[in-house]
């Protein structure tokens, strides 16, 4: 139906199936929506598909090009968002009005996209049994996003995690950004000893402990096994944490070789590449298969049974990619089914999801990574400039997308990734490190990967103070904050 929607003095000609006024805006129904807007080449809020995907305000007149490495496309964003890149987003989009207010269109379900140009704001959703549901609002930016978050919480729920971390995120030491996959039992024990006296809650092993991606057992670098390692971490006073990528598989793994029929495939029956890492392509599991669900549940129960109470689950977007599934489910709906299996198997363990579809993780994850990997350098021009990839590891990319996702905080704990205190092996300038620490203070999620024997006494004390204190934060505008009485302006970070 065609109608005129009245919003805070704004009249919008609209094509929708039906609508109803609610507090703060309208509920719209339809799998294809179109709204004529009067703002011309204004700013568009673009929300990426998963943790690393570009999310920020962009000028509709800008000419950003899509990433150029096709084998990495899923690691950039959902393939469906790249045809009209960057002005098609996942789940929610918004326009800046001529008076500075925000026109928001946000899906209240999964597998939805929002697209904008200088005249029309469009919403589309994959067909389901009933027309998709949307929220439309016009007003002050924070207010409309807060109302949208409230409605998402009604539809998708909130985590039921009962640990004290529910009120305040855990303070995490993670192995990744110091030694990457070069972890070993010996290094872990020496690091545990060196961290004594620093008030971390979680000690988390990252990638490098497993036999392969798909074979989730300790490799020869951990001869005592994961049960003994978790016990030692707990005896040192920390909750043991572990990295897994349970929804993807490497060709060299026994899982791939013995269960190729478990893979997500395309219409020709070929496995769908989910990205490239570990010097090879990797593939997604079809999480709608009962055998895959049973295996997934067993893996998570095994890891929790070893004693790991904090799980960092990575590359999760793979299960939501387009493909032919055992059950005829859309991508995000299938992913959410798999994440629900994990949630039930994990019990009270804390689930931090990474590389994860954002809306489809709400209500099931305790924490969500909301940006690309940080790095001990500011920019990554080989990827950002030459490959047009703004998801590559760099502090600049991480800060930009994290700032674009602060509206998620009422729904889930938001993880901006680690910050740095070391000067060793670090190219960040002092003010760049300060910006990263400020972002961490804004989100409330505090983590580092610095090895204790890389820190001089002043750096160690700064890390201790960072873990013990929570600065007062006031948001002044999109990118300006008052942090412990000092104004911090991130506006220059947002330029693309």
- The string of DSSP letters for 67-130 reads PS-GGGHHHHS-GGGSTTTTSEEESEEEEE-TTS-EEEEEESSSSEEEEE-SSEEEEEE---SS
The arithmetic mean of pLDDT across residues 66-72, rounded, is: 80
pLDDT of residue 484: 87
Dist CA 273 CA 322 (whole Å): 11
Dist CA 103 CA 255 (whole Å): 47
The arithmetic mean of pLDDT across residues 296-304, rounded, is: 98
Angle at CA of residue 125, ends 363 and 133, nearest 5°: 60
Could you report the per-residue pLDDT of 432-454, keeping only the tens digit for each?
999 999 999 999 999 999 999 99
Q: How confident is the model at residue 56 (pLDDT cuts 50, 70, 90)?
A: very high
Dist CA 487 CA 483 (whole Å): 6
> What amino acid positions are annotated as catalytic residues?
314, 373
pLDDT of residue 368: 98
pLDDT at position 72 over 80: no
Q: How confident is the model at residue 73 (pLDDT cuts 50, 70, 90)?
A: confident
Dist CA 315 CA 304 (whole Å): 20
DSSP 302-326: HHHHHT--EEEE--GGGGGSS-B-S
pLDDT of residue 161: 66
Q: Which two tokens stand for residue 443?
A: 């989100």
pLDDT at position 51 over 90: yes
Q: In terms of DSSP bridges, do strands 112-116 and 310-313 run parallel, antiparallel, or are they unpaired? A: unpaired
Domain with CATH 3.20.20.70 in the chain: 164-494
Could you report the per-residue pLDDT of 449-483, keeping only the tens digit for each?
999 999 999 999 999 999 999 888 898 988 999 98
pLDDT of residue 83: 82
The arithmetic mean of pLDDT across residues 291-303, rounded, is: 98
pLDDT of residue 87: 97
pLDDT of residue 176: 98
Q: How confident is the model at residue 221 (pLDDT cuts 50, 70, 90)?
A: very high
CB-based contact 87:48 (threshold 8 Å): no
The arithmetic mean of pLDDT across residues 160-187, rounded, is: 90
Best CA proximity match to 315, nearest among 281, 268, 356 = 356
Residue 234: burial class (beta carbons within 10 Å; 0-12, 13-18, 19+): middle
The arithmetic mean of pLDDT across residues 226-236, rounded, is: 98
Average pLDDT value for the chain: 95
Q: Kind and range of the H or E element at 341?
A: helix 331-346
Of 1-10, 128-137, 175-184, 454-463, which range is least confident?
Answer: 128-137
Q: How confident is the model at residue 84 (pLDDT cuts 50, 70, 90)?
A: confident
Higher pLDDT: 70 or 462? It is: 462
pTM over 0.85: yes
Q: How confident is the model at residue 413 (pLDDT cuts 50, 70, 90)?
A: very high
Dist CA 48 CA 46 (whole Å): 7
How many Å separate Cα 236 from the centre of its chain? 30
pLDDT at position 349 over 90: yes
pLDDT of residue 313: 98
Peptide bond into 86 cis (omega under 30): yes
Q: How confident is the model at residue 167 (pLDDT cuts 50, 70, 90)?
A: confident
The arithmetic mean of pLDDT across residues 211-230, rounded, is: 98
Best CA proximity match to 60, nearest among 112, 123, 121, 125 = 121
Best CA proximity match to 144, nearest among 313, 25, 318 = 25
- Share of residues in the chain with pLDDT > 70 (%): 99
Edge-to-edge strand order for the sheet containing 273-277? Answer: 248-249, 280-284, 273-277
Selection from 6-20, 69-83, 119-133 with the highest mean pLDDT: 6-20
Buried b (16+ CB within 10 A) or exposed e, 430-455: eebbebbbbbbbbbbbbbbbbbbebb
Dist CA 312 CA 243 (whole Å): 5
pLDDT of residue 470: 86
pLDDT of residue 135: 98
Dist CA 476 CA 487 (whole Å): 9
Residue 330: burial class (beta carbons within 10 Å; 0-12, 13-18, 19+): buried
Torsion, Cα of 257, 262, 267, 269 (10° steps):
30
The arithmetic mean of pLDDT across residues 302-322, rounded, is: 98
Topology adopted by domain 164-494: TIM Barrel (3.20.20)
Dist CA 237 CA 131 (whole Å): 51
pLDDT at position 19 over 90: yes
pLDDT of residue 49: 98
């Amino acid at each position: 139906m065609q109608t005129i929607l009245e919003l805070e003095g704004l009249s919008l000609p609209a094509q929708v199936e039906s609508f109803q006024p609610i507090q703060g805006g309208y509920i719209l129904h339809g799998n294809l929506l179109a709204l004529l807007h009067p703002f011309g080449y204004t700013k568009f809020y673009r929300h990426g598909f998963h943790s690393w995907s570009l999310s920020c305000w962009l000028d509709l007149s800008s000419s950003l090009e899509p990433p150029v490495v096709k084998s990495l496309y899923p690691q950039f964003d959902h393939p469906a968002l790249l045809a009209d890149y960057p002005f098609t987003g996942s789940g929610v989009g918004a326009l800046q009005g001529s008076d500075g207010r925000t026109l928001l269109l946000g899906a209240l379900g999964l597998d939805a996209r929002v697209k904008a140009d200088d005249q029309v704001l469009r919403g589309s959703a994959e067909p389901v049994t009933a027309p998709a549901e949307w929220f439309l609002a016009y007003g002050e930016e924070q207010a409309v996003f807060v109302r949208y978050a409230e409605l998402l919480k009604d539809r998708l729920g909130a985590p039921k995690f009962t640990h004290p971390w529910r009120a305040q995120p855990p303070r995490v030491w993670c192995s990744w950004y110091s030694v990457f996959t070069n972890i070993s039992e010996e290094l872990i024990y020496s690091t545990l000893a060196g961290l004594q006296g620093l008030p971390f809650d979680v000690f988390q092993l990252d990638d490098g402990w497993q036999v392969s991606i798909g074979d989730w057992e300790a490799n020869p670098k951990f001869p005592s096994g994961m049960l003994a390692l978790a016990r030692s971490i707990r005896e040192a006073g920390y909750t043991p944490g572990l990295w897994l990528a349970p929804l993807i598989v490497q060709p060299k793994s026994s899982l791939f070789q013995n269960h190729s029929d478990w893979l997500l495939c395309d219409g020709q029956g070929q496995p769908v590449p989910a990205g490239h890492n570990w010097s090879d392509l990797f593939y997604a599991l079809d999480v709608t298969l009962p055998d895959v669900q049973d295996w997934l549940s067993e893996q998570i129960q095994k890891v929790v049974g070893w004693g790991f109470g904090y799980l960092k689950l990575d590359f999760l977007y793979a299960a939501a990619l387009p493909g032919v599934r055992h059950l005829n489910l859309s991508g995000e709906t299938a992913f959410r089914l798999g994440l629900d299996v994990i949630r039930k198997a994990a019990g009270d363990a804390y689930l931090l999801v990474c590389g994860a579809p954002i809306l489809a993780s709400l209500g099931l994850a305790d924490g969500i990574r909301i940006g690309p990997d940080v790095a001990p350098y500011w920019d990554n021009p080989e990827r950002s400039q030459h490959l047009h990839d703004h998801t590559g590891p760099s502090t600049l990319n991480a800060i930009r997308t994290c700032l674009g996702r602060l509206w998620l905080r009422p729904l889930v704990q938001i993880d901006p990734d680690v910050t740095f205190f070391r000067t060793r092996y670090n190219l960040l300038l002092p003010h760049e490190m300060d910006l990263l620490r400020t972002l961490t203070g804004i989100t409330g999620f505090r983590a580092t990967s610095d090895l204790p024997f890389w820190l001089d006494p002043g750096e160690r004390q700064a890390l201790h103070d960072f873990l013990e204190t929570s600065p007062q934060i006031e948001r002044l505008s999109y990118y300006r904050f008052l942090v412990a009485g000092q104004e911090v302006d991130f506006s220059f970070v947002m330029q693309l």
